[in-house]
Structure 1
Amino acid sequence: MTTSPARPWVRDFLLLALIWGSSFLFMRIAAQELGPLPTAAVRVTIAALFLWPILRMRGHAPLLRQHWKPIFFVGVLNSGIPFALYSFAVMHITTGLSSILNATVPLFGAIVAWLWLGDRPGQSRSLGLALGFAGVALLAGGEASFKPNDSGIAPFWAVLACLGATVCYALSASFTKKHIPSLPPLVTATGSQMGAALALALPALWWRPEHLPSLHAWGALLTVGIVCTGLAYILYFKLIENTGPAKALTVTFMVPVFAILYGVVLLGETVTPWMLGCGLIVLLGTALSSGLIHIGQRKT
């Protein structure tokens, strides 16, 4: 087994993983007071409001008006639906488990890129897909009980929500590569958050909380909206443009490391040996399926 040489975008991956790893923590804090749909809606609205003035100052507004339809659709698929699903999930399972399940994004991404874009996986990547999904099955079998926990919801449904979000991410990455032309990342990032905000507005109003959130929750929302969404998605769409969807999605390889650390230190969450073992299997499968590492001769 050989490792690929260091690439310039590795630093960007680590920074994005550091940021996105904290998003599970902030979503949990906010969702406990607002609920999942309002949390997701406020998150993308804050991100859109933060990014729009920057877009205008850079003179990119005409580009967004020209390509708004596919960009808005990507926002629903890549932000609106997944953020709502994860906000629901972190209310009922640990942020560490949620982040490990999030690491399956490149697995689904490789399958979608194969079926949609014709990016057929080789022997090493196929082994990674099989290994990754086996790890997910073991993890879900050991951690996702059908018995309701203290929150009144069976963890199985939270696990299923996480996997649904990862499928959305995989679909949106290939859609972006196929249907959105090469645009400044700021255009795609801003438009996608605007599309997600519009899509979530009515559902969030319908399921709005009875009481105004505390300053603690607002702080979490501002952080997850500006840092974990607005700034992070500029970097994310830049990675898709420069490396392609399959490689860009491998950022989730490192997210669980930071998310588990935040959860243990700041939320007092417990990490079981079974979770760690299955998580390592998932991450190894992810690394193989995305080409980050491969078995045998390295491709040239």
Structure 2
Amino acid sequence: MTIKNLLQLLSLAALWGGSFLFMRIAAPVIGPAILIELRLLLAALFLLVVAAFLKRHLQLRQHWKHYCILGWFNSALPFLLFAYAAQTLSASLLSILNATAPIWGTILVALRYKKPITLKVFAGLIAGISGVALLVGFDPAVLAADSWVVIGAALSAALSYGIATCYAQGKSAIEPFANAHGSMWAASLLLLPLLPFFPTKASSDPEIIGSVLLLGIVCTGIAYLFYFRLIAEIGAPSALTVVYIVPVFGVLWGHLLLDEPIGWHTITGGLTILTGVVLVTGFNPLSLWRNRGASYV
């Protein structure tokens, strides 16, 4: 990994951490479903322009079912669940709960392929659960009567990412850019029937409009391009380490721009969850340094 790759990784984490900020700003005003529908459409249109420029084709006849499955579990469902939770929970809390996704993914893959769950993985699972308990048990927003509903929604969103990861195993024949482009269109279409079931309100507030545009184009469309470039340059395992950095930016943006407090439970719970993720996934940060490029000096 070179210094350029490291900067790309940090930029991607900053963009994905910012997505929770913009959902927190816009979802309580215009509603979660319309927010995510706009996010998906803006990202799909942006990727369509990029695909036309790069002359990339989706091959819809062969892969439309794949795009629908991936689009639902990797975009439409988790985005909607996080936006629903963003009406109540802070951007900081959402970004940390999002970090549980690798735990779910690793466990689901182990169950699907009948791999034994080792003591280390079990310890990571316990650490992840403990971190969530610490994080939400001392957060003022979670003391509301329906707080566990939104906590469940956020954790279900992370679980959905895990399902998408499990499904994507063995689907490497389809290039990452086509996966993103096709799944965005599929997700936007699959979400349409759900719009009448969620309250929607129009807004002409520049802050809300800006949040929607930044969420769709920058935090989704451009972020995917960063991610695919990283996969091409440093490989998928190293690129996926972005999940460890996203909570840092999620907490930072929430604190700086929304005045969200950073309590001891935020730090302790977040670190405990990340410890669980490291144990479950077997991630070793030293491996990134062992594989560094010549310019990393």
C-alpha change, 1:145 and 1:209, in structure 2 (3 Å) is: closer
Matched with 1:101 is 97
Shift of 1:113: 1.9
| SS state at 1:67 partner | helix
DSSP 3-state at the match of 1:178? coil
* Cα contact 1:177–1:244 (8 A) shared by 2: no
Does the aligned pair in 2 maintain the 1:110–1:121 contact within 8 Å?
no
2-side partners of 1:271 and 1:92: how far apart? 17
Given that 2:58 and 2:178 are in contact with CA atoms closer than 8 Å, whether structure 1 keeps it comes out as: no
Q: How does 1:186-265 map to 2 (within 5 A)?
A: 186-205=177-196, 207=198, 209-236=200-227, 249-265=240-256
Question: Residue 133 in 1 paired to residue 125 in 2?
Answer: no
Structure 1 residues 260 and 227, CA gap change in structure 2 (3 angstroms): same
Deviation at 1:147, TM superposition (A): 4.8
Distance 2:111 2:239 in 1: 18
Q: Secondary structure at the match of 1:61?
A: coil
Does the aligned pair in 2 maintain the 1:250–1:290 contact within 8 Å? Answer: no
Instruction: Describe the superposition over 1:106-161 as per-residue Cα deviations: whole angstroms up to 9, x where unpaired.
Output: 1111101212245656554443233222222332333387753xxxx622222111
Alignment match of 2:15 (pick from 4, 15, 19): 19
Say if 1:202 and 1:272 are closer, same or farther in 2 by CA, change over 3 A: same
Mapped to 2, the partners of 1:70 and 1:217 lie a distance apart of: 33
Change (3 A) 1:32 1:238: same
* Distance of 2:58 and 2:71 partners within structure 1: 18
Aligned-pair distance for 1:26? 0.8
Give 1:272 deviation, angstroms.
1.4
Q: TM-score, normalised by structure 1?
A: 0.83
- 1:206 CA drift (Å): 5.2
| TM-score, normalised relative to structure 2 | 0.84
- Does 1:157 find its partner at 2:153? no
1:177 corresponds to: 169
1:79 aligns to 2:68 (yes or no): no
Distance 1:277 1:206, change over 3 A: closer
Is 1:270 the counterpart of 2:261? The answer is: yes
CA contact (8 A) 2:81 2:154 kept: yes
Q: Hey, what's the Cα distance between the residues in 2 that align with 1:272 and 1:171?
A: 31
Structure 2: runs of 5 or more not aligned: 286-297
Q: 1:213 to 1:66 in 2, by over 3 A?
A: farther
Cα displacement string for residues 173-202 of structure 1 (whole angstroms, at most 9, x for unaligned residues): 12122345241x221111111011001123
- Gap change, CA 1:202 and 1:20, over 3 Å in 2: same
Q: In the aligned structure 2, how far is the partner of 1:123 from the partner of 1:253?
A: 22
Deviation at 1:253, TM superposition (A): 1.4
Unmatched 5+ stretches in structure 1: 295-300
Q: Does the 8 Å contact 2:89/2:141 carry over to 1? A: no
Structure 2 residue aligned with 1:286: 277
What amino acid sits opposite 1:207 in the alignment?
A: F
Distance 1:10 1:124 in 2: 28
Structure 2 counterpart of 1:30 = 26
Q: Deviations over 1:70-121 (max 9, x none)?
A: 0222111111111111111121011111111111111111101212245656
- CA distance in 1 between partners of 2:10 and 2:24 (Å): 22
Which amino acid in structure 1 is aligned with residue 54 of structure 2? Answer: R
CA displacement at 1:50 relative to structure 2: 0.9
* Residue of structure 2 aligned with 1:52, choices 48, 52, 61: 48
Q: Aligned equivalents of 2:107 and 2:94: distance in 1?
A: 21
- Are 1:166 and 2:158 an aligned pair? yes
**Taking structure 1 as reference, are residues 199 and 241 closer, same or farther at Cα in structure 2, changes over 3 Å only?**
farther
In structure 2, relative to structure 1, the CA distance for the partners of 1:293 and 1:7 (3 Å cut) is farther
Aligned-CA RMSD value: 3.1
Aligned residues: 288
